[in-house]
Each structure stands twice: as C-alpha cells, then as structure tokens.
Amino acid sequence: MGTDEVERADLPTRVVHALRDRGLTVATCESLTAGLVAATLAEVPGASAVLRGGLVTYATELKSTLAGVDAALLARVGAVDPEVAQQMAAGAARVCGADLGIACTGVAGPDPQDGKPVGLVYLGLARGGTTHVREITLAGGREAIRRATAAQLLGMLEESLAAARPRISTRPGFR
C-alpha cells in the first residue's frame, strides 16, 4: 500500500478517535453514498461510542420526510444543492441526537440529475446550530465517485474536529 492508501485507510480510525477524545457523537445523512459513510465509521472498533446512527435518503422525498429538508427548497432546486446538504446535516444531528451531523448529496452517474453534472457533490457539516458546506467535483465511475465522496466527507469531519479542542468525556469508553 502506498502512503496515500494508508492515510485513507486510517482516516475512519482517526475520525472515531478524534470524536471519542472530544466527547462528541456524529450522525450521517447520505444520498449518493447510501450508507457508505456510516458503514465505514462502524468498521472501526469502538465506533459505537461515537456513531449515533444515520439516515439514507437516496430518494429525494426522503430528504424532506426523514431529515427535515424543506420540501419547497427541494422542489425549487432539486436534491443536489448546497442548502440541501446543510439541511441534511442539521437533520441528521437532530433526528439522531448527535453533536455533529454530516451529509452528502450529489450525482454519481451515469447520467446528470436535474441538470447537475456527474461528479458534482455537496458535503454538509452541522454542529451546534452552525452549518458548513463544501462543493467538490469528482471524476470517474459511480463506484469511484461514491467512495471518493465518503472519503472527502470524513476528511471534512476530521478537519472540523482538528479545530475543536479535546475535552474530558463522561461517555462510556470503547466497547
């Protein structure tokens, strides 16, 4: 394995440990990745101490009914939009009772969706009433776009956690 591959493989472990060290929990709301981000975190031993759960909102209407995304916004802009990603992240945190919510919505292909090109993805992160969104453009086939989206979202979460100071946790340790 090359250095980049090792770093990518270690990313979920680093994220889980950073969450634990800061006494924080996370929830996901995933569209194009269909649960891949939550599953990737759950592969790390001890993830149950920090991963509250996740929503798979692959169908557009589920973004509204499960995550609370404004239905009028979805009707106006479609599912692939920065504000949709922000509302998905906030919805994940709220519905799952987590400190942080992370979300992704985009086009994995093979065809454009609602006039949005294949590879366009929005990542959302919500924490304490504040939301952030990042637009990325990815290349490759469906599987490559889905996997890259998951890695980019976990990277965004890791960056956010690096800015947060560790605190002493009263939560139970790893199982």
pLDDT digits (tens, 9 = 90+) for 32-43: 999 999 999 999
**Domain harbouring 130, CATH code:** 3.90.950.20
In a domain, 41, yes or no: yes
Number of domains in the chain: 1
In a domain, 139, yes or no: yes
State the pLDDT at residue 109.
97
Question: Tokens representing 90?
Answer: 């906030």
Average pLDDT of the chain to the nearest whole number: 92
End-to-end CA distance of the chain, in Å? 29
Count other C-beta atoms under 10 Å from residue 152's C-beta. 17
pLDDT digits (tens, 9 = 90+) for 98-142: 999 999 999 999 999 999 999 999 999 999 999 999 999 999 999
Angle separating helix axes 142-163 and 3-22, nearest 10 degrees: 50
Q: Is the dihedral of CA 74, 75, 80, 82 positive or negative?
A: negative
Residue 87 belongs to domain spanning: 3-163
Residue 163 pLDDT level (bands cut at 50, 70, 90): confident
Distance CA 22, CA 16 (A): 10
> Which carries the bigger pLDDT value, residue 7 or residue 23?
23
In a domain, 172, yes or no: no
Q: pTM of the full predicted structure?
A: 0.90
Distance CA 166, CA 164 (A): 6
In a domain, 169, yes or no: no
pLDDT digits (tens, 9 = 90+) for 141-158: 999 999 999 999 999 999
